[in-house]
Amino acid sequence: MKEPVNFYSVSDDQPIHFRICLLIEMSTYDKSLKMQIPISDRNATIGHLLRSSEMKHYSYKYLASNQTQQVISENQKLLDLNETKFILVTEDETCFVSIETLNKSLSTQVVTINMVDQHFTIYATLAAVYKQNNIDQEQQNLLYSNDFVPSIKTQLKSFRGNSPVRFTLIKDNLPIIVRVSIILNDEECSTEFHCGSEIKIERLCQIACQLLN
């Protein structure tokens, strides 16, 4: 990039040909591995990246969007994406998310919203799930395990024991706000969630332990 144009000239009477490349940046969530791959094929897909020679020594199965934390289909063309930075993730660093709704009679009608596409990294927060599903937190919230609404700052890895991670979309929010904090290795960790007024203390402890891992 810093060389003058004549550096690439073979002779004065021959034109200089350049090819525009798309520079793809891939890294693990903790940034322990970073790599850049120039792509010139306009039809290249996510699958091509995962099977490239630069990736042959690694076991990462998926690429996730750096913006949405969603796992991207292997068939997705790179030029159709509005980003060039992706997260490398393994199988156990991902989870599926399923969202159910309640009808007016209060009987459960299960409606899976794009379940196949609702494939996130476990590092994604509920804020990413809300945004991807166009959920307005002022009017609706995601209920987990039928008894509490986690904070939008909660990462999906808090629910990694269950796949898919199942939520129920409810109107408004539950009335009681619970805040829990603990000291781990001289650092304070805290979490917050909403619940009903009839919930037992034992259950509150279970929820807090789950959210604080």
pTM: 0.82
Give the C-alpha distances (Å, rounded to integers) separating 190 from 43, 93, 149.
46, 23, 15
Go through the domains of the chain in sequence order and give each one's CATH number: 5-89 (3.10.20.90), 93-211 (3.10.20.90)
Tell me the average pLDDT of the chain: 87
What would the pLDDT profile of 5-21 be if each residue is shown by its tens digit?
666 666 667 777 777 78
User: pLDDT higher for 194 or 10?
Assistant: 194
Predicted pLDDT at 21: 82
Phi-psi region of 185 (alpha: psi -120 to 50; beta: other; left: phi over 0): left
Portion of the chain with pLDDT greater than 70, in percent: 87
Give the pLDDT band of residue 187 (cuts 50, 70, 90). Answer: confident
Phi-psi region of 123 (alpha: psi -120 to 50; beta: other; left: phi over 0): alpha
Q: What is the model's pLDDT at position 162?
A: 74
